[in-house]
Structure 1
């Protein structure tokens, strides 16, 4: 399953819009993105936009391929357990750093 997302790096946009399988646009807030040399991919972690700070949220992760102009890209599913382990480790480090601030 691949999905398109709009992303404007010039404005440091923190939201992506994803068209789900039913054709409905959903907006998500980007938690952070990173590149993995080990898997030679870029990843983005995101959650539903508009979630309150005190509510529990589901954090989603996808790899992505950026288009040439950097304004749109294609989200791809995370394919292996090794990738998930790496993502979970990076997320845990990110959340620990956030708690320290």
Structure 2
């Protein structure tokens, strides 16, 4: 049984992830959404630092590729390395933000 979806706007199980920044400090990020790309055979998560959403004009969204863990949660995060992947992420993000504005 395969579950395939373009966007998961209501990702109830995990709404937050903790990332370690360049200084070695942990930061809490809120998950904006996740999606799968059949073209790259990867899953992606878009998130932003908790607290940044309060100032609507200055939100910096981070994007990572990830391999889902066996329990379906977000597993190990990997950097996005190709322009082609960034193009897909940007396209999905733009669609997501347009959907939110309606």
- TM-score category of the 2 structures, normalised to the smaller one: 0.7 to 0.9
User: Does the CA-based 8 Å contact 2:33-2:45 persist in structure 1?
Assistant: yes
The answer to which structure has the higher helix fraction is: 2
| CA displacement at 1:30 relative to structure 2 | 0.4
89-98 vs 60-69, which moves further: 60-69
Unaligned runs of 5+ in 1: 1-9
Change in Cα spacing, 1:84 to 1:98, as seen in structure 2 (3 Å) is: same
Normalised by the length of structure 2, the TM-score is 0.79
Moved over 6 A (4+): none
- The answer to which structure, 1 or 2, has the higher relative contact order (CA under 8 A, 6+ apart) is 1
Normalised by the length of structure 1, the TM-score is 0.80
How far, CA to CA, are the matches of 1:57 and 1:35 in structure 2? 23
| Counterpart check, 1:63 vs 2:29 | no
11-20 vs 39-48, which moves further: 11-20
Q: Deviations over 1:51-77 (max 9, x none)?
A: 205341111100001222344511101
| CA displacement at 1:11 relative to structure 2 | 5.3
How far, CA to CA, are the matches of 1:93 and 1:47 in structure 2? 17
Equivalent residue pairs, number: 91
| Counterpart check, 1:12 vs 2:13 | yes
